Structures are given as C-alpha cells and as structure tokens.
Amino acid sequence: MILLLLLLPLLFLLAVYGKDSKKEESRVVVIAIDGLRWQEVFEGARRDSLMPFLWEMGRKKGCMIGNRNRKSKMEVANGIWKSYAGYSEMLCGVTDDEHIFDNRKQYNPNRSVLELAEACSEYKDRVSAVASWDVVPYILNYHRSELPVDFRSPHRVSKQVRNDSVTLNRALKTLREKHPKLLFVEFCETDYYGHHGKWQEYLNAAHQNDQFVRQLWECCQQDPFYKGNTTFLITCDHGRGESLGVHANRGKVDSKASWTEHGKEIKGSNQTWLVAFGKDIQHLGEMEGGRTIYTKQVAPTIASILKVPFTNDDNQQPVASPIYKILAATDGLYFPGVAVEIRHRGSYSHCLPLSGQHAGGLVPPMGDVDDFHSESYAWRKRRGGVDVPPLLCRFPARCLGSHPCRHALARHLLLPFPGDGHPGLAEMDC
C-alpha cells in the first residue's frame, strides 16, 4: 500500500504530461488554389456564397489575410508573378528570380519545407504532396528530395492539368491511408479556366475548391490522428489582372480583359491571400491593416508549427520569417532557421545576459533599424545620427527554446514586431 501511495504522484504526472505531450503534436495541411484572385475571396456580395467554408472557418475559427479594401496586404516577393516562382517562394521561403523565371519543367535548386521536414527523423516518410499541375513535382524536386508526389491521371482538363476532383480523392486517400504529418495539396482548375477567359467556369472551380477544403477538413476531424492537432493553411501562388472589362458592371465579363492573365507586366497579379485555421492559429477573423505579408513567409510558418529547422543556405539571401502574428501562443519559443549571439564591446558569446547595462541598450523595434550588414551579420541603428554598437548578430543554430536569453529576447526583440516579414531580426528562427 505504501509503495502504491508513493507511485501515485508519479503515475499522475505521467498521465498529465503524457497526454499533453501527445496533444502538442502538430500536423499541417497546406492547400494552394492556383491563380485565384483576392477579389473573388474577399469582395462583393458573392464572397460568402462563393467560398462559404473558407469564410466560416477563417472568420470564426482562424484568420484571413489579403483583403486590400481593409488595407490587409499579402503578395509575392518574387518579380516573376507566375506559378513556378510563386510555388517555389511559398514552399522554399526564398525568391530566386535568377533561376526561376518561367514555368518550364526544371528541377528546383532550392529546398522546400517538405524536403526539410522529410529529412527529420520524426517526419521521415510522413510528408506527401498531391497536385493537379504536373510541374509541381519539379518545384519540389522529387528526384533529389524523393518526396512522394501524386500528380498522374488520365482524367485531365488539359495536357498539364488533371481534374481537381481527382486530386481531392487522392488527397483524401493519402490522409486516410498514409497519415502524413505534412501534406501539400495543389488545385489548378481556377488558373486553367482563367487563362481561357471562362469566367463562370473559373468561379465554379473556386466554389468547388472551397468544398474540397471542407471535405479535407472533415476527413481530418473524423480521424483521431488529426483531430485537434491539425492546422490548415490555404493560399495561392499569384494573383491575376485587376480588369474584368468595361462592361463588368453590367454582368458581362470580357474574356480578353487583364483578369485572364498574370505576370510582371500585369498589374495586380502579385497580390495573394491566406486563410488559416486549426490548432496553431489564433482566432483573429478577417484582418485589417498591418504591414505587407509575403508568400515566402508560408514555408517558415509551416516549419515553425512543426518545429522543423528551416534554412536555405544554398540561396544567398535572408530566409523569410514566419507569420508570427497569426500563430497561437505556445509554451516555448521556436523559430526555425536562425539563432542569435550577443556582441558586447567587440567580443562574441553564445549568451550574454541582456540588460540595460549594455552600451547602447537592446536593438530597437524594426522601425528604428538603419541597415543590415550581411558581412558581419550585425544590426545597427541610428539615433541622432550616431551609430549604436551592434549587439545582436544572426548565426545558424537549432532552437531558441533552450537559449538562456530566450525570455529577454522574446520580451525585447520579438514581441514589438511579430510577423511583420522584415528581414533580419524578425527572422530569428533558431
């Protein structure tokens, strides 16, 4: 009896923390609706009827970014404004206009967040992709990454695009049979009908995709592996032209107006959007104002949710930051990709206590930052024309969650500007 009494507290702790540990496991489903304009998602009386499920979940249980009528902006950072560049940016967290400037079938030199997750032991063989567009396997570089990408089918709307309904069924089958912890689903009929000037078919495809998202979500809610643990991120790879034609106000949409195309010469086709809901997303509803969010922030957001180290060292540019402001608060800080070191009076240390005694104080919020010196990885600020000694440097590392300075860093550096998409400091990932 005495032994039992001694064991009871231990059993209680195991039960509580064991349950919580299982509950904290995250799964992510990323869904891209190719070339669907933000106007169709957010504008007009039809928005609730066109995308009813996205509105129900985004408004009541998650968040929605990209309604420019409310000064909420999201756009691609690349200068190409086409599908390959958009998907690569979305999934790799970097832009690469030098190598990716059209939609040809070339193997992507950049590593996607799917590939990085697959390389982690806890996600090995638990990452999948299902796509309507047959260029997606090249974007994910499935030869190098060895990722399973389902894209083949005789049922197609064109030589390069299979029916979205087939993609849905394959995605549902993948969820039920393979139980991936990270799944990417790409629908493409909206873009196909857009390019062919078929306005009603374009809208029908958008509405159909909304219902497909509903089916994927309901599938997850019926499966204990996903229920309560899953985050959905729905977005697009690019926008389209803004014009519907001179007679659009009369209900006649011109099949030759700019809405049918996209690219760097077409105004508005850089504009994107995001709807997010599920376990790791704050309930913010339709968002207003704020700094511009970039499509390249989707990849590090996925990595942050899954706690996957996120780097793209082959591309010589800063990796994008997660969209911090939409992420639900967690017990630990985790920022995949970049850690910090403190420089004090010319010396470096993996951790020096952050306090007011440091010369110049802490690096200020982003609005006061003058420039980022890539050579030394040091931030500087100007105050009254005087350079303050750089105190914060960025270096590759794993996890800030165990860093002795994490609380001070969070309090003084992250919270004033979470998720604003700025380079450098806001990209601390660790």
The pLDDT tens digits along the chain (430 residues) read 554 444 444 444 444 334 334 446 899 999 999 999 999 999 866 778 999 999 999 999 999 999 999 999 999 999 999 999 999 999 999 999 999 999 999 999 999 999 999 999 999 999 999 999 999 999 999 999 999 999 999 999 999 999 999 999 999 999 999 999 999 999 999 999 999 999 999 999 999 999 999 999 999 999 999 999 999 999 999 999 999 999 888 889 999 999 999 999 999 999 999 999 999 999 999 999 999 999 999 999 999 999 998 876 555 456 688 998 999 864 433 333 333 333 333 333 333 223 222 223 333 332 222 222 222 223 333 333 333 333 333 332 333 333 334 333 433 333 222 333 333 333 332 2
**pTM attached to this predicted model:** 0.76
* Residue 428, token pair as written in the block: 């601390």
Buried b (16+ CB within 10 A) or exposed e, 55-87: bebbbeebbbbbbbeeebbbbbbbebbbbbbbb
Domain with CATH 3.40.720.10 in the chain: 25-326
Task: Check residue 108 and report its DSSP letter.
Answer: -
Alpha helices in 199-310 (DSSP H): 199-221, 298-306
Give helix then strand counts, H and E, for the chain: 13, 16
**Separation between Cα atoms, residue 247 and residue 261, nearest integer Å:** 18
Contact (CB, 8 A) for 124 and 177: no
Quote the Cα angle for 215-170-272, to 5°: 65
SS3 340: strand
**Separation between Cα atoms, residue 116 and residue 128, nearest integer Å:** 12
Alpha helices in 245-337 (DSSP H): 298-306
Architecture of domain 25-326: 3-Layer(aba) Sandwich (3.40)
DSSP 3-state percent helix, strand, coil across the chain (nearest 5): 35, 15, 45
Quote the pLDDT of residue 213: 98
Q: Which amino acid is at 275?
A: V
**Separation between Cα atoms, residue 140 and residue 195, nearest integer Å:** 24
For residue 375, the surrounding DSSP H or E stretch is none
* Residue 222, token pair as written in the block: 């019926």
Quote the pLDDT of residue 312: 62
| β-bridge partners, 339 | 395
